[in-house]
């Protein structure tokens, strides 16, 4: 049996990008992952698909899997020779009960490693513009649990806490906020001392409520703030009005749905999240490679004879390279005289990544734009190859043929309907969604087909963003309005178009 290893990994304060590189690398090789509510469900996608995922689901005052059982599972899986990751919110050793889990492993003589995480006690205030220390305001900070062992008497000495001049940070204390504030005031803390409660800090759902010891309870009740929250008490809270940066992002509070295929959604998701949006990935398109393209043998037989090869998408590049590899070929088999055309910056980057120099990239990323860019360079009888998707537009092929060229299209992949996303899609558009993004006509048509006539009207209450004129036209064909369109027709420009439209709307 191979040597087991248990990693107690701090997942960070909430935003998945705040996990450490070490923590991420541990996840990538995990065979078993134990996770709970605060450890970032999104991070599970970094673990191998074949890994065993165990939800130990801790919620406030509700622990369906007791800590003793979690310890037992860790020991059991380790004894099976597995690589185990216990994914914990924040840092494993800061009110994360990581010490108890490490002791259980140590008592059994099992190997383990502690992978520190960014604790919410400093990260969440930072995301609310609150430094826990400041040379002229607070010389120290004190991290305190607001949720002690319920089987024992309270051990917090509020008389000492009230006298401290540093910042007080309470974790897991929202349910005991009234007692915390009353006790601090009773033992002499100024009732006007600044207080902040931060809900779901570092995420796009972050919400900050500020007040003072004598009024924060009422404010939190009116805002109906629920766990997870952290409480910050001290004069540093007053800096938040000047230093707030996260909640001031242009798309903060906006809920945006991305309909790109799962493998390609990341760039748009990253752009939107960088602007503060809450992003829901709900693909309406699934890229399905065709194992044996009909005319593959014919194309391969003259692969070194093409004067022009036109790639219209990243998918076409990936599928073409995959087929070359399957045929035992590589880029050396292409003609040295072949001119490579890329439609769009992302396609160009992918070709360069694969080792192909791009000779032509049209300014306008449409069939018409490609034709205009290529017209000066193509000659009658020249051979043109277009690796593409099934059911793509014929405009480019017809335009090239009208110039006398011989065009071969190589159908390498299909765009399927991911019907497994239908329920999530309908639930998402039924809620408080602000934007839906479309990056191709297929994403539009597939979405309409997936929601059906019954729910189509829901799209009229949501703003729609299209990457270009062809996609926008597809939206309009379904009697829907396009609220913004990218210029140029790129993913970053699409995110920027949404930002501009949102800023314009906020200025009204």
Angle, CA 503 vertex, CA 499 and CA 505 arms, to 5°:
115
Residue 245 has phi, psi (to 5 degrees) of: -130, -40
- Of 283, 285, 349, 281, whose CA–CA distance to 313 is shortest? 349
Q: Is 463 helix (H, G, I), strand (E, B) or coil?
A: strand
Q: Are 411 and 474 in contact (CB under 8 A)?
A: no
Q: Are 78 and 105 in contact (CB under 8 A)?
A: yes
What letter would DSSP give residue 62? Answer: B
| Parallel/antiparallel/unpaired status of strands 52-55 and 83-88 | unpaired
CA distance 327 to 413: 17
Strand partners, 90: 12
CA distance 295 to 206: 53
* Active site amino acids: 36, 58, 172
Q: Are 83 and 5 in contact (CB under 8 A)?
A: yes
Angle, CA 307 vertex, CA 305 and CA 311 arms, to 5°:
110
**Burial of 107 (C-beta count, 10 Å sphere; 0-12/13-18/19+):** exposed
**Burial of 488 (C-beta count, 10 Å sphere; 0-12/13-18/19+):** middle
What six digits make up the tokens of 239? 């800096």
């Amino acid at each position: 049996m191979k040597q087991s290893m248990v990693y107690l990994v701090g997942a960070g304060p909430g935003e998945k990008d705040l996990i450490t590189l070490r923590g991420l690398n541990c996840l990538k090789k995990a065979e078993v992952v134990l996770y709970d509510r605060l450890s970032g469900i999104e991070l599970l996608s970094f673990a191998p698909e074949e890994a065993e995922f165990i939800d130990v689901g801790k919620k406030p005052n509700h622990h369906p899997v007791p800590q003793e059982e979690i310890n037992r599972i860790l020991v059991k899986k380790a004894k099976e020779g597995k690589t185990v990751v216990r994914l914990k919110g924040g840092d494993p050793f800061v009110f994360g009960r990581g010490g108890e889990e490490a002791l259980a492993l140590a008592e059994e003589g099992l190997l383990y490693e502690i992978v520190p995480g960014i604790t919410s006690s400093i990260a969440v205030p930072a995301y609310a513009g609150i430094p826990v220390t400041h040379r002229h305001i607070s010389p120290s900070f004190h991290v305190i649990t607001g949720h002690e062992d319920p089987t024992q008497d309270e051990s917090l000495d509020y008389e000492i806490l009230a006298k401290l001049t540093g910042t007080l940070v309470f974790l897991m204390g929202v349910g005991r906020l009234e007692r915390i504030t009353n006790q601090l005031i009773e033992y002499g803390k100024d009732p006007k001392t600044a207080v902040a409660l931060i809900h779901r800090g570092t995420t796009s759902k972050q919400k900050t409520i500020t007040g003072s010891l004598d009024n924060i309870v009422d404010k939190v009740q009116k805002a109906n703030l629920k766990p997870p929250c952290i409480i910050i008490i001290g004069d540093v809270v007053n800096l938040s009005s000047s230093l707030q940066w996260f909640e001031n992002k242009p798309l903060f509070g906006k809920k945006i749905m991305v309909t790109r295929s799962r493998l390609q959604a990341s760039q748009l998701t990253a752009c939107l999240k960088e602007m503060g949006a809450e992003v829901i990935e709900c693909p309406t398109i699934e890229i399905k490679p065709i194992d044996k393209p009909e005319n593959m043998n014919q194309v391969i037989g003259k692969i070194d004879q093409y004067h022009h090869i036109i790639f219209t998408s990243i998918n076409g590049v990936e599928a073409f390279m995959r087929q070359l590899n399957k045929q035992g070929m590589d880029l050396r088999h292409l003609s040295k005289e072949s001119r490579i055309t890329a439609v769009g910056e992302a396609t160009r980057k992918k070709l360069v990544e694969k080792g192909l120099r791009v000779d032509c990239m049209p300014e306008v990323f449409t069939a018409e734009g490609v034709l205009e860019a290529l017209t000066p360079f193509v000659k009658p009888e020249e051979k043109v190859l277009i690796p593409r998707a099934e059911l793509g537009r014929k405009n480019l092929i017809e335009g090239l043929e009208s110039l006398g060229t011989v065009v071969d299209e190589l159908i390498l992949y299909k765009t399927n309907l991911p019907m497994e996303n239908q329920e999530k899609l309908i639930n998402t558009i039924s809620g408080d969604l602000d934007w839906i993004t479309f990056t191709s006509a297929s994403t539009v048509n597939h979405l309409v087909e997936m929601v059906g006539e019954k729910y189509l009207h829901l799209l009229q209450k949501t703003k729609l963003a299209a990457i270009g004129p062809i996609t926008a036209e597809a939206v309009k064909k379904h009697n829907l309005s396009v609220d913004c369109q990218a210029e140029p027709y790129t993913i970053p420009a699409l995110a920027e178009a949404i930002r501009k439209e949102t800023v314009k709307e906020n200025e009204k």
